[in-house]
Amino acid sequence: MEVRKTLINEIKAIIDSATEKAIRSVDNERVLMYWTIGKKIYEEELNGEERAEYGTYIIRSLAENLEPQFGSSFSERQLHLFRQFYRTFPIVNALRSQFSWTHFRMFIRIENQDKRDFYIAEAEKNHWTGRQLERQINSQLFERLLLSSDVKSVLAVARKEKLPSDAKDIIKDPMVLEFLGLKKEASYYEKDLEGAIISHLQEFLLELGNGFSFVSRQKRINIEGDDFFVDLVFYNRLLQCFVLFEIVIRKLTHQDIGQLQMHVNYFDRFEKQEFENPTIEILLCTDKNETMVKISLPKDNKTIVASKYQLYLPSESQLIEQMKKEIEKLDTEDTEELSPENI
């Protein structure tokens, strides 16, 4: 007599659920233990001798006594981390149970308060795993969003205090596509980049950010017998609009802008519902001409966005340099607008 497969699957699901809960419970206890140890160390420092080296002495002494019995998790370096953990999160109720020690270890290493608050809010909202959080930090997500917005706006969107109303609230520039596994120096076509994105769709959605869902690839548009194709079509439920992607492995041209405008017009007239917002199209390109984009589009354009992509993780210094260039561009534009010829 054969046991029903559904029964086997149900019992497997029960086992998997219980195992996951047990692992989460153990990790929560570990987090609380590390926090409590950090609290004890910090309080001992405050009650001890008023010397800067006293804290180091306490930690060294504890490590010498704990590490031989409990292992490397209680080394001098780890005990310093526990102390920092308590100082960063001094209120125990602030320790979200959904975060593992891996999450907290990354949070406490972020010195900038705004930056840390951003990653905490985004990780909580999007249920990032420790690995996903690490990738977002390493890709300088916070800094990239600041290239097109301000700190208050970025934090407000992350904390759900504000719904994004503009593509610039959520679109990164540059977009980092290191997960595609394509080498920067290698030659490839648009279809290769598009295929790699589809093969790594989950990672691409993580890079896109909040509210995106995949709709179609190579969406066919027929206009009086002529066929045109949109590389990738997504929908964003926060912006409540279609978000189209056109992929170009060269510098942006005037002809690209015209094609994007046609795609947007088509979706707005034939695909968009009355309650939805105007379609947005993003041109992923290796380089862009900001002045050409602005001249080619209406002054109040919010529907076409050019975003550079790169196939490697940026360093903080690279992004700082890019932010300086963006600020210089804005200063130059302001000066031009105030010149006698334009007044």
Question: 227 forms bridges with which residues in the sheet?
Answer: 222
What is the tens place of the pLDDT at every residue in 27-65?
A: 899 999 999 999 999 988 887 655 657 777 889 999 999
What is the tens place of the pLDDT at every residue in 330-343?
A: 556 555 544 545 43
pTM confidence score = 0.81
What is the tens place of the pLDDT at every residue in 93-115?
A: 878 888 999 999 999 999 999 99
Predicted local distance difference test score (pLDDT) of residue 275: 94
Strand 226-236 relative to strand 241-247, pairing: antiparallel
Indicate the domain borders of the chain. Answer: 5-85, 166-312
For residues 311 and 160, what is the distance between their CA atoms, to the nearest angstrom? Answer: 30
Question: 284 forms bridges with which residues in the sheet?
Answer: 247, 307
Task: Show contacts of 223-227: CB within 8 Å, 24+ apart.
Answer: 223/266
pLDDT, block means (10 residues), the chain with 343 residues: 76 89 88 94 77 76 93 94 95 86 95 95 93 94 86 90 81 89 79 94 93 95 91 94 91 81 94 94 81 67 83 78 65 51 46
| DSSP letters for 251-276 | B--HHHHHHHHHHHHHHHHHT--TTS
Chain-centroid distance, C-alpha 240: 20
Predicted local distance difference test score (pLDDT) of residue 343: 39
How many CB atoms lie under 10 A from the CB of residue 224? Answer: 4
Predicted local distance difference test score (pLDDT) of residue 166: 78
The pair of structure tokens assigned to 163 is 């719904």
Structure-derived torsion over alpha carbons of residues 259, 232, 204, 196, reported in degrees to the nearest 10: -100
Predicted local distance difference test score (pLDDT) of residue 298: 65
Class of 166-312 per CATH? alpha beta
- Which residue shows structure tokens 């998790």? 73
